[in-house]
Amino acid sequence: MIMWSNGKFVKENKVSTLNWSLHYGSTVWEGIRSYKLQMNKTAQLFSLTAHIDRLFDSAKMLKMEIPYTRQEIMEACREVQRQNGNKELYFRPVVYLTRDAENDYENLTVGVDIHVMKLQNMYPKTGIRVTTSQDPRGYPAFWMQCKSSNNYGRLNLMQDAVKQMKQKDSTFVVDNYGHYVEGSTANIFIFKNNTLLTPPNNGSILPGITRKWVLDQFGGAEKQLTKPDLITADEIFITGTYAEITPVIEFDGYKIGDGTVGPMTDRIRKAYLHAVRNPLWNGIFGQ
């Protein structure tokens, strides 16, 4: 695979383990997918503008000034797609801090790389089993709105706990008040009494681009969700670039609905999978 590293197309970029961002967690990144459009079978990055806007927002929160324009980064992503052929791919633009000399704490420069890969190990279409993380999240926390490596150490621990439990696929995290905020790499939705609900964007979640798509297309309300809300929901699903729309069929050992993919989740998933390959009618998400 060909990647983009600080303005050049290269096969790989080897970064030293002394890299500043590796030690101090100051890296921000995005995860973007490309899909082949139905009309011309050409792979196009979905919601590229929204992802690059969020990358710049994340960088700003960590006071990192990206030395390229949004247009330049978007064009670099498109060129990485072209150089790697007409395939559906997963892109990782990464913004990091680096320094020339080991002990130079003053002269940090901001680097930007765009990695690309094929996605593997997708969630099962039949739905996943989720449990509550034992590691609650402080509330509110502005940096949770930042897609920064800082946040993913704890999120990795959540997924590691899942591996120990074998039968579970993912975890949901609660804030200090016991409200469910999000999954390890996805946002949460429940469907109950014909209403679509999702935890509010109040400083404790990453405001997901897929979450926004669902709210824009299907309506729904923001509400703080408690454990009983989840247990008694007719349907639960998670949203994310990687997860797309993934049904949750079990939560903390409780069967959700009848334990199979619910009709609303199915409808939203089909609409999403259609939208990502037919983005023209889909406003800003298509760019």
Q: How large is the greatest C-alpha to C-alpha distance in the chain, in angstroms? A: 60
Q: Choose between 170 and 185: whose C-beta lies nearer to ligand PMP.
A: 185
The H or E element spanning position 33 is strand 32-36
Q: How far apart are CA 36 and CA 30, in angstroms?
A: 20
Q: Choose between 26 and 185: whose C-beta lies nearer to ligand PMP.
A: 185
Kindly state the smallest distance separating residue 228's Cβ from ligand PMP, in Å.
Answer: 23
Q: Choose between 26 and 149: whose C-beta lies nearer to ligand PMP.
A: 149
Q: How far apart are CA 45 and CA 90, in angstroms?
A: 9
Kindly state the smallest distance separating residue 260's Cβ from ligand PMP, in Å.
Answer: 24
Q: How far apart are CA 106 and CA 99, in angstroms?
A: 9
CA distance to 45, 51, 279, per residue, from 285 (Å): 10, 10, 7
Helices 70-83 and 48-61 pack at an angle, to 10 degrees, of 130
Both structure tokens of 273: 């999978």
Residue type, 248: V
Q: How far apart are CA 26 and CA 39, in angstroms?
A: 40
By the 8 A CB rule, do 245 and 213 touch?
A: no
By the 8 A CB rule, do 272 and 265 touch?
A: no
Residue nearest to ligand PMP (CB): 208
By the 8 A CB rule, do 113 and 43 touch?
A: no
**Residue for token digits 């949460």?**
188
Kindly state the smallest distance separating residue 185's Cβ from ligand PMP, in Å.
Answer: 4
Kindly state the smallest distance separating residue 202's Cβ from ligand PMP, in Å.
Answer: 14
Kindly state the smallest distance separating residue 224's Cβ from ligand PMP, in Å.
Answer: 17
Q: What is the contact surface with ligand PMP in residues (CB under 6 A)?
A: 31, 182, 185-187, 206, 208-211, 239-241
Q: Choose between 30 and 250: whose C-beta lies nearer to ligand PMP.
A: 30
Q: Choose between 18 and 117: whose C-beta lies nearer to ligand PMP.
A: 117
Q: Choose between 84 and 204: whose C-beta lies nearer to ligand PMP.
A: 204
Q: Choose between 257 and 268: whose C-beta lies nearer to ligand PMP.
A: 268
Kindly state the smallest distance separating residue 269's Cβ from ligand PMP, in Å.
Answer: 14
Tallying the residues shown for the chain, one arrives at 287
